[in-house]
Amino acid sequence: MKEIEFSRRAFLRHSLLAIRNSMIVLSLPAILQSVANASEATLQGNSFTTLNTEEAVELAAIAARIIPSDETPGANEAGVIHFIDNVMGTSRPEVLGPLRDGLASLQNTVRATLTERKFSELDPQQQDAILQGIEDTPFFATMRYLTIAGMFSLPEYGGNRDYAGWKLIGFEHRHVWEPPFGFYDADYMARGE
Amino acid sequence: MAQASFATREQVDFVVVGSGAAGGIVTRELATAGFSVVVLEQGPYLQPGDFRHDEWSYTQNEELVWGSRKGHPQTFRRLESEKAEVVDGAPLGYAHNVGGSSVHFSGNFWRLHPIDFNEASVRGTIAGTNFTDWPISYDELEPYYTRVDWEIGVSGTTGPWDPPRSRDYPCPPMPVKSAGVLLERAARALGYTAFPAPVAILSQPFNGRPACIHCGFCNGFGCEVAAKSSTAVTMIPQALATGNCELRTGCTVSRINTANDGRVNEVVYWEEDGTEQAQRAKAVVLCANGAETPRLLFLSASDQHPDGLANSSGMVGRNLMFNGSSNAAGLFPEAINGHKSIATTRVIHDFYSIDPKHGFYGGGGIDSRSLTRGLPMAAAMRGGIFSGASWGSDFKRGLAEEFTHTASFNGHCTTLPLSSNNITLDPEVKDKWGRPALRTTFMNHSDDIATMKFFHDVSMELLDAAGAIKKVGAYARNGQTGGVHLLGTCRMGNDPATSVVDRFNRAHDVPNLFMVDGSSMVTSGRGQPTMTIMALAFRAADHIIQAARRNEI
């Protein structure tokens, strides 16, 4: 999954650079189709139950900027979109409508300010700029909430795959721990304080 | 012996409403003394094996602490002149399950000190408040504190920081965590004393229950090995084993009915499927907590009690107190790992009473914690504590740095009783049963806020002394908007004109009605009220049993 994602990113970056240089404008629809195919590939493993594929691709792209894939895995590798899909159909059905409205509004912003059609087709810098513009909106707050919840909840809810979220912050899930728990209590014991 | 079973038309000796910290103890005491008892509990009877490390469910989906999502909306406002609005979640938080909040609490188990009972006499009353002495002294309650220690199971160590105690703790203190070491060292550097936090969590096997396994999902969760000394794993099983007690879960009380003579005679409730039942009883003990007990009294208004049951004083629901709080989080160079083991292991009580020369009333303690209970999702939601970033790569890197390396020194302190801080019935919003929603009106006295600031400032100094690289602190500078310590709303007193229950928790107005929970506390204490709620429950039960045997109920 990670490999596909990175290659998609690279592909997008190069494509958009090319678009800006007006070199391959005529082949844009074909490129975007292949990008969409690549995005769908990153979302495989579970079919979506509540979101449609396009919504999933777009929301996943937002989640991927909230917790990006950089030197460590991000929302994409953790499957956060599957968590979002899951809770939209279970514990947060009331959020689905506002989320769809927010996404539509975001796409309008994208269309109004940039030449590309969809948020997911922008490069990361453009995506960040768009998101910075809506940081104070309920839609962004909801996406941040859902992304974090999906990143750090039990994997059974669809996200936090391979404990990607927990590994990121140094949380190891166990039922039994024994002292010493950290550096300072180990030091305290060693010194006999 | 098997759990008893009573017909609703059969008049049992007692109905106990609520099976939490107080209800569990009252039930066990009454049943052990041979009385027939029916306990009504809104929530389920969860067993240790039911508890999971499921942050999404417990902290975000009201698994134990019900609010709007579970059909129990609450409303909140600052002033009585305002319209209260529905608040997301539960501004007044309490667990809905057998054992109540003793199941999910941190287990922090401070006793009150002697000064808590007579502070108005010692320090003087405070204009504009209902600050007054308790009708009982520390010495009268001390034997019951000790009973709690030994019946429930408490870990700690005796020292000069303790109020006087007649017997040592049954279990030694819990092993110190890194945040506790940092607090202890900082305290030493500044001339204060940090001591092992007393907790209702077992450091070694006790009464057939095992020691804590330090799993970390403690505060806000239920204990998967029954090492946390909730009434669900201590008192309730013992009560059921007497054969005199029937526990009815999933039962929500709608009202307590009054006979023509003004005495209560029946508790009306819904079973989980909505079937209405009414249990006849000789006496009723309300242990529904400082929010639900006054709410039930209002819901039980009748011709004999037009302003709410037992409310001739007009004090039902008033004097709502939480405990004040502050936090100060520090980033440290080495690993702290707040996600392991219990909430807190060291506490400072050097400021139990703040010097009056500061110009305000207050006091409290500071303990060592994780800022976000050691929970991954909570830490990320809070996020960017020191990095400032709330999303993106910098946010990620900040989390990776902060989660394991942050300690928080938290203040826990007094709040003053005010008539204008209260629980009432919301005039518009209803819960899933159609009952008027719980409405909270609350704005801290200025001394409360000054006290929280004081503890915040001391905690920041302690972080410096502990060697924090970065630090950030907070307190409710505009006043608290909710709480989990729900105190004072049926205050205890000798004068029926200014209090709701007498010194033995009996309603002044209704001889066969008792309120036993945080609602009877006259002052807030400095924090961690459950130990006192439990001691009051043992004491009240003692007197209820004696009165019942003398036919004086």
pLDDT of residue B387: 86
pLDDT of residue A46: 61
Indicate yes or no: CB of A153 within 8 angstroms of CB of B61.
no
Sign of dihedral through CA atoms B63, B66, B72, B73? negative
| Vertex B378: Cα angle to B375 and B379 (nearest 5) | 80
Tokens of B507: 């309603």
Q: What is the pTM of this model?
A: 0.93
Taking contacts as CB-CB distances below 8 angstroms, the residues of chain A near B215 are: 174-177
Indicate yes or no: CB of A65 within 8 angstroms of CB of B392.
yes
Taking contacts as CB-CB distances below 8 angstroms, the residues of chain B near A193 are: 181, 184
pLDDT at B240 over 50: yes
pLDDT of residue A41: 40
B383 lies within 8 A of chain A by CB: yes
pLDDT of residue A107: 95
B181 lies within 8 A of chain A by CB: yes
| Portion 133-162 of A in contact with B at CB < 8 A | 144-145, 147-149, 151-154, 157
Lowest mean pLDDT among A100-114, B42-56, B290-304: A100-114
Rounded to an integer, the average pLDDT of B360-378 is: 97
B259 lies within 8 A of chain A by CB: no
How far is the first Cα of chain B from the last one, in angstroms, to the nearest whole number? 28
pLDDT of residue A115: 72
pLDDT at B343 over 90: yes
In angstroms, rounded to a whole number, what is the distance separating the alpha carbons of residues A80 and A85? 9
Indicate yes or no: CB of A145 within 8 angstroms of CB of B339.
no
Residues paired with B201 in a beta bridge: B228
Indicate yes or no: CB of B216 within 8 angstroms of CB of A148.
no
Question: For residue B267, which phi and psi values (nearest 5 degrees)?
Answer: -115, 120
pLDDT of residue A45: 56
How many other CB atoms are found less than 10 A from the CB of residue B352? 18
% chain B with pLDDT above 70 = 100
Residue B494 carries which side chain, given as an amino acid letter?
A: N
B392 lies within 8 A of chain A by CB: yes
Summarised one tens digit per residue, pLDDT across range B120-142 is: 999 999 999 999 999 999 999 99
Indicate yes or no: CB of B336 within 8 angstroms of CB of A184.
yes
Angle formed by the axes of helices B178-190 and B446-466, to 10°? 100
In angstroms, rounded to a whole number, what is the distance separating the alpha carbons of residues B252 and B274? 9
Indicate yes or no: CB of A177 within 8 angstroms of CB of B390.
no
Question: For residue B313, which phi and psi values (nearest 5 degrees)?
Answer: -75, -15
Residues paired with B252 in a beta bridge: B270
Cross-chain CB nearest to A66 (options B60, B182, B391): B391
A90 lies within 8 A of chain B by CB: no
DSSP 8-state symbol, B160 = T
The secondary element (H helix, E strand) that includes residue A139 is helix A138-152
Taking contacts as CB-CB distances below 8 angstroms, the residues of chain A near B49 are: none
In angstroms, rounded to a whole number, what is the distance separating the alpha carbons of residues B245 and B30? 9
Complex ipTM: 0.95
Strands B436-441 and B422-430 come out as antiparallel
pLDDT at B397 over 90: yes
Mutate: best of B399, B404, B463, partner A, most A CBs <10 A:
B399
In angstroms, rounded to a whole number, what is the distance separating the alpha carbons of residues B445 and B335? 39
How many other CB atoms are found less than 10 A from the CB of residue B360? 16
In angstroms, rounded to a whole number, what is the distance separating the alpha carbons of residues B129 and B25? 32
CB neighbour list of residue A79: distance below 8 Å, 6 or more residues apart:
A45, A46, A150, A158, A159, A160, A161
pLDDT of residue B86: 97
Q: What is the pLDDT along chain A (193 residues), one digit of tens a residue?
A: 333 333 333 433 433 333 333 333 333 444 344 444 444 444 555 689 999 999 999 999 999 999 999 999 999 999 999 999 999 999 999 999 999 999 999 999 999 887 778 999 999 999 999 999 999 999 999 999 999 999 999 999 999 999 999 999 999 999 999 999 999 999 999 999 9
pLDDT of residue A47: 84
Task: List the one residue out of B108, B196, B402, B433 whose CA is nearest residue B299.
Answer: B433
Whose tokens are 């759990």? That residue is B3
Rounded to an integer, the average pLDDT of B527-540 is: 98
Rounded to an integer, the average pLDDT of B445-474 is: 98
B339 lies within 8 A of chain A by CB: yes
pLDDT of residue A3: 35
CB B488 within 8 A of CB B519: yes
Helix then strand then coil, in percent of chain B rounded to 5, is: 25, 20, 50
pLDDT at B374 over 50: yes
pLDDT of residue B226: 97
CB A51 within 8 A of CB A59: yes
pLDDT of residue B265: 98
The CATH number of the structural domain formed by B12-549 is 3.50.50.60
Summarised one tens digit per residue, pLDDT across range B79-122 is: 999 999 999 888 999 999 999 999 999 999 999 999 999 999 99
Indicate yes or no: CB of A128 within 8 angstroms of CB of B392.
yes
pLDDT of residue A14: 38
Cross-chain CB nearest to B56 (options A66, A157, A170): A157
Largest CA distance in chain A: 75
Lowest mean pLDDT among A42-46, A187-191, B210-214, B438-442: A42-46
pLDDT of residue B384: 82
Mutate: best of A142, A169, A173, partner B, most B CBs <10 A:
A169
Mutate: best of A132, A151, A181, partner B, most B CBs <10 A:
A181
Taking contacts as CB-CB distances below 8 angstroms, the residues of chain A near B86 are: none
CA distances B413 to B59, B238, B461, B471, Å, are 24, 34, 18, 21
Chain mean pLDDT for chain B: 97
Residue B390 — pLDDT band, cuts 50, 70, 90? very high
Task: List the one residue out of B162, B128, B108, B202 whose CA is nearest residue B485.
Answer: B108
CB neighbour list of residue B86: distance below 8 Å, 6 or more residues apart:
B68, B73, B74, B75, B429, B437
Q: How many CA atoms lie within 13 A of A91 on its CB side?
A: 18
Residue B1 — pLDDT band, cuts 50, 70, 90? confident
